[in-house]
Structure 1
Amino acid sequence: MQAGSLIVSGADALEAFARAAAERPQATALLCDIDGTVSPIAPTPAEARVPAAFRDLLAALVPRLGLVAFVTGRALEDGRRMIPLDGAAYVGTHGLETMAVDGPLVVEPLAERYVAAVHETAQAAARDLDCEALGVVLEDKRTVLAVHYRLAEDPAATRRRILEHVVAPARRRGLAVATGHFAFEVRPPLPFTKGTAVRRLLDAGGHLAAMSCGDDLTDVAMFTAVRDWGERDARRRTLALAAVTGETPRPVVEAADVTVRATPGVYRALRRLAEAVGAV
């Protein structure tokens, strides 16, 4: 790594992908997480923002590439509110909600049967946890409940309380639980992930190159799905880019072809892509 560089590793892979995208921009797909990737990590989900420079850069990429899709754990409409771009596709709640380019919002029908259990878990969490004192933020996304504890003064103790009062009861209700950056997510026990969603998006188009960008464990499924898609056709080129900080889980780093320094590094990488395809 060069001193002071925002590209931590994989600079050559990034450059090779940019050259491939330059040859066929309309056959290139960009699949991008939001929080921690194009939006700096914030104390609470409500405080997160996509910087104006990022919005402008991504807006310039939309008409130049064959597909720009935002793939988030947020509710789809919430993610779309953060970065509302005409011509982009959206995936919400880790693949349970999708919106194709200029299409309607579609919720996975199987998820509906778990809405009541998720709601009951959210109500119990609000009742049994002193969220304000613990530094816990509950984010009810209807089909998914996110429990954030980034603000906790004692993260280890708070984590134990969440395991006891949220995770264990959720599992007894037949729900699945995933972990992230100072967060747990309670969700339906269904085989839908960011990976399954992006695979459907890629299979629906004639893409020959795909770049996926993320920062957390749920993004590993996206990295893996894009890589598997690429391996099915020798003409295809893929790139997985991870925004890393001191909190980044090891599996995220190991699954990436390129690692960059948090959101400023993602901006630098996407700027290089934009330059290559003539978007800036």
Structure 2
Amino acid sequence: MTKYLFNNLKDLETFKNDPSTALLTDIDGTISEIAPTPETAVVTNSVREKLVQLKEKFSLVAVISGRSVKNAREMVGVEGLLYVGNHGMEFLKDNHLIRNPEAEKYRFQIKKVGKKVKNSDLSHINGLIFEDKGICYSIHYRLSNPSENPRDKILNSLHNDPECRELEISEGRQLVELKPPVSCDKGTIINNIIEQYNLQKVIYLGDDITDSDAFNKLNELEKKRKIKSASVLVLSSEIPSYVKKGSSFFVNGVDDVLKFFQWLLN
């Protein structure tokens, strides 16, 4: 059973006191409050300052987001972190950009399909936000009226479009996303980072359906005794219960995450 983090901080002492620990975190809903639109979300100066200090304390601090990697970098604004965008399809380290070559092949198709979707019958649903993220394309329905069933209409439209069916259709918090049909998620990316940096202890924080892939991968690696990990879910009413089951601990919001960062630094 997933436990409330602040009732079990003793379990995290081994991470807190080891400089080889790596801290990996999502952005939206984790270190930034969920906002009505992607561009209005912010990372506060308080969180930013803690990330700077954590970077000095631990071997690696990485930000892993569904946003484009450049957008993630601009939003967080901390030098020296590893930035991972579009669910692991882009990396930015020391201003050096690396994209998944298989995913890159679909960039033109994603852009073409996204433009078509934006001009389809979906455009008549009030409150939809269409976001071109380069390698991926998101349709946000947070501002739509739930009585219009925007999620079902978006999914039906995409599944009925032959071009969309050639891509991967996935979901997040109040959004549906088109992705390249390549084997790449937060779990595979976590695994790659662990291998590349030879990590032994990992703390991961996330708040969404896509973070369950990371939770599951960490659980798998821990069972194989390859690493020691602590996965922290930032709880909300918008995610399915199975996501919580995969995490080690939960917290109740971004304020709790900031409080946890402060505890790690004390």
TM > 0.5: yes
1:15 to 1, 10, 18: 10
- Work out whether 1:251 is the aligned partner of 2:246: no
Structure 1: stretches of 5+ with no match in the other structure: 1-6, 276-280
Amino acid at match of 1:239: A
Q: How does 1:100-249 map to 2 (within 5 A)?
A: 100=93, 102=94, 104-129=96-121, 131=123, 133-154=125-146, 157-169=149-161, 172-233=164-225, 236-249=227-240
> 1: distance between equivalents of 2:31 and 2:16?
22
> 1: distance between equivalents of 2:159 and 2:147?
16
TM-score of the aligned structures, taking structure 2 as reference length: 0.92
* SS of equivalent to 1:105: strand
Deviation at 1:248, TM superposition (A): 2.4
- Whether the 8 Å CA contact 2:122–2:153 is kept in 1: the answer is no
- Work out whether 1:263 is the aligned partner of 2:232: no
2:81 to 88, 107, 117: 88
Structure 1 runs of 4+ aligned residues shifted over 6 Å read none
Q: Find the counterpart in structure 2 of residue 3 from structure 1.
A: none
* SS of equivalent to 1:86: coil
- Whether the 8 Å CA contact 1:244–1:260 is kept in 2: the answer is yes
Compute the RMSD of aligned alpha carbons.
2.1
Structure 2: stretches of 5+ with no match in the other structure: none
Q: Find the counterpart in structure 1 of residue 264 from structure 2.
A: 273
> 1: distance between equivalents of 2:18 and 2:241?
33
Amino acid at match of 1:164: N
- Whether the 8 Å CA contact 1:146–1:184 is kept in 2: the answer is yes
> 1: distance between equivalents of 2:190 and 2:11?
22
* SS of equivalent to 2:149: helix
Deviation at 1:170, TM superposition (A): 6.2
> 2: distance between equivalents of 1:195 and 1:266?
21
Amino acid at match of 2:33: P
Distance 1:170 1:147, change over 3 A: farther
Deviation at 1:130, TM superposition (A): 5.3
Distance 1:224 1:155, change over 3 A: farther
Deviation at 1:112, TM superposition (A): 2.1
Amino acid at match of 1:104: H
Amino acid at match of 1:21: F
Number of equivalent positions: 265
Amino acid at match of 2:132: D
- Whether the 8 Å CA contact 2:128–2:142 is kept in 1: the answer is yes
Q: Find the counterpart in structure 1 of residue 60 from structure 2.
A: 67
Distance 1:89 1:155, change over 3 A: farther
* SS of equivalent to 2:197: coil
Deviation at 1:196, TM superposition (A): 1.1
TM-score of the aligned structures, taking structure 1 as reference length: 0.88
